[in-house]
């Protein structure tokens, strides 16, 4: 039986940490995943509120530190909350994802009808707001890389 360690970066705004918390729980606390004969373990490469990048002295150093996390990730997950349309950091994370050729999974929150173009235009795949669709989306993007 083969084993896959899939590194995932979840983009988020700390002001909307409930979205991050839900996605993190689904992806990293969901238990033992498998695909066929392969076991799959998702590893968190995000920058959560409870473990921020402490040594960044300014926004440029923070960008470099975030890009480092993105570079080491296999898949970038971005929820499409409308705050993403106005977030300079999500825009930078998308630019980093593109620079390192990391696929973006856009996750559309339940009931949301409007989607920020910046996320949708850069996403390799869109999924709905369910644990199963998020996990399957990450796995598909990981396999296609």
Backbone dihedral angles phi then psi of residue 131, each to the nearest 5 degrees: -60, -45
Q: Which CATH architecture has domain 3-144?
A: 3-Layer(aba) Sandwich (3.40)
CA 87 vs CA 11, 21, 53, 91, 124: distances in Å: 11, 19, 18, 6, 20
Query: What is the rounded distance in angstroms from the CA atom of residue 22 to the CA atom of residue 18?
Result: 6
pTM to 2 decimals? 0.89
With b meaning 16 or more CB within 10 Å and e meaning fewer, what string describes 45-58? Answer: bbbeeeeeeeeeee
Q: Where are the domains of the chain?
A: 3-144
Predicted confidence band of residue 60 (pLDDT cuts 50, 70, 90): confident
At residue 13, the pLDDT reads 66
């Amino acid at each position: 039986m083969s084993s896959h360690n899939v590194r995932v970066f979840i983009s988020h705004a700390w002001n909307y940490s409930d979205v991050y918390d839900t996605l993190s729980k689904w992806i990293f606390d969901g238990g033992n995943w498998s695909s066929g004969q392969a076991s799959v373990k998702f590893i968190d490469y995000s920058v959560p509120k409870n473990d921020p990048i402490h040594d960044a002295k300014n926004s440029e150093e923070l960008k470099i530190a975030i890009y480092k996390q993105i570079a080491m990730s296999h898949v970038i997950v971005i929820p499409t909350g409308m705050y993403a349309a106005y977030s300079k950091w999500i825009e930078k994370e998308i630019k980093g994802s593109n620079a390192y050729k990391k696929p973006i999974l856009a996750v559309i929150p339940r009931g949301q009808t409007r989607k920020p173009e910046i996320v949708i235009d850069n996403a390799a795949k869109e999924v709905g707001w369910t644990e199963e669709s998020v996990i399957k989306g990450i796995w598909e993007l990981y396999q296609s890389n």
